[in-house]
Structure 1
Amino acid sequence: MEFVTGGTGLVGRYLVAELVAGGREVRLLCRPQSDREALLRFLNHRGLDGQRVEWCEGDLLDGSFMEEAIAGCSRVYHLAAVVSFHPKDAQHMMRVNRDATRILVNAMLHVGVEELVHLSSVAALGRVTGEPVHEEVPFESGPNVTAYAHSKFESELEVWRGQEEGLKVLTLNPTVILGAGDFNRSSSALFAMVYKGLKWYPTGSNGFVAAHDVARACHVLGDQKCWGKRYLLNAENRSYQSVFDQMADDFKIPRPSRPVKPWMMGAVWRLSMALEFISGKRAKATKESVATTHKNHSYQSDRLEKTLGEAGIVWKYQSINAVISETARICKEQLGSN
């Protein structure tokens, strides 16, 4: 039995499918509001048996519950996290991302579950001007570091503490994850924005990776016992413009044609926050979210390929264009029927 947190999320659904397809029994942490039916449909679409999933309803922040939930499991995949760049979410993010990880690590140590695969983020890594980010670039705090980055870095500290106290751990640090999830949230919302006729595109660049590849890496690295290291996951470094253009092409609509230049950023997020204050509707653009999209980041992920290559496994990422095309098709099916 293997335990999964965040199993109904973008990466989680692919991981659960990977595990079930491999004949594993999965115990899945869920909340009352978790969309269980969406996951079961996802599995059924792939010809997989949802009966192999045992649902475990409870709270990550409840230590006693977590000890009971993971008891008897051989491995924990910790994917649950809050991703937000809204200032009002900072405290909640720290609670879920850092504190829940600490509680989970303590529960594992207490009941004797040794193996932990932790899904982190490249946000938990540092930056070197003019050079690609890799696993060994140390995190550095500063005025331009987001609350999300702080929460993921501190959650990693809890994971490495667990290793010092006897756990076998590894962390995965993906770049921007693309795939068919909730098109109102996270990176999947980019597809909905373009589909609805987005006119503007940010001028920065970033790394991108398929949700399925992230799930596959969680599964393979855990099974190969690649403990004690961090693995950066990145399929391609791309400009936001090229990604948005590909989305629009797959939707068969006009491409976003107006660049949001750096000098415009301040006005964008201030206007968005002002509208939130006036209307009560949550701002779609914040200071942190806007700032991240005009910067140019690149990444290298050699460690994953090298580590698996030494085990005789050839690792290949899905092309980002293929991921965008498939996700755009699903997005159009879902939003077009609303």
Structure 2
Amino acid sequence: MHCPVCGHDCVTDARALLTELPGRFAPCPDCTGLVYDKQSPPPDIDAAEPCPSCGKRFIDEVFADIYRVMVGEGDLSGAEPLAAAGTPLIHPGHSLQRAPYLPSRSLVLLSRSVGDRAAARLVAEVPEVRGVVRTGAGTPGISDTDAAPMMYTLLAGCDVRADVFSTRRGPVVVYKQQSALHVEFPRGRNEKILALEREIGRCRPRTFVDACSGAGTLGIAAARAGVPHVICNDAWYAAACWTACNLQVNRESLGIEEVTIHRSYDDLRSRPVAQDPLLVATAAGREEVHVYQGDLRLLPAVLPPEIDLSALDLFEKADTGKVGRITRAWQARVGGVIFIP
């Protein structure tokens, strides 16, 4: 599938990705790897080469390689601990029982310290690195439609990666551009999905609205659970774009016959924060799904009547006053059962 960030085939359908997942990060009988102390600099030894049999390398060896490149370019002094190089995000992300052995192009590096020259070298010289992102203060996305959007900087390669989340009906695959959307790495339990499944079990909804959809995890999980009509919305362009993309990725397991994309990635990026809801994508089949980009406070104008269940996963849940105002307004205009994941 065409990747909107780099133009290559970074995005594959869920079936293909899940088929190779069980052994993707497992060592072969010939693999070896040293475990390094993350709170100390790596030892002054030559970097291990990928396994000649399977091409994988233990993650600590890969990170030591990353660290040495950053020291060579002056981004680190060599006195910092190994963990100072940054945060590794594997592709695809899923719950692991032990540290992974990485195949080629399976890691996106998030780092506050990395510079342009080191990033280019990492993608060119470290075979496991698929993309390098320089992070900053805050979290990618928006806290409100009148707030300045926040993005990290993709320095080299491609930062599109997938996460695999478990649901009662089976796994869902969620792709995202990591410089534009927050990290939501899968663990053994996903409390938001569990909350959604509890509400679906209680309400038996025919229509579900995820008013702050992010990359579409809850909406796709609701469709996977058999909710006939799902509506996803987010004011942030990257969230709406990747929700639409993830409908295509998961279409087989969702029983979707066709996904129609109404707005391209470049079109959405040209207006990164939307007010009035704009239809981004529609999906038809066993389930019907609509994806919008817009302010959730204006979304009721385009919603069908009799919404049974809504999720309001607001970015800043700590602001209880704001959450209360939005929830009361939604209840008055839309009705149905509301829950905050």
TM-score by length of 2: 0.27
Report which of the two structures shows the higher radius of gyration computed on alpha carbons.
Answer: 2
Is the helix fraction higher in 1 or 2? 1
The normalised TM-score by structure 1 is 0.27
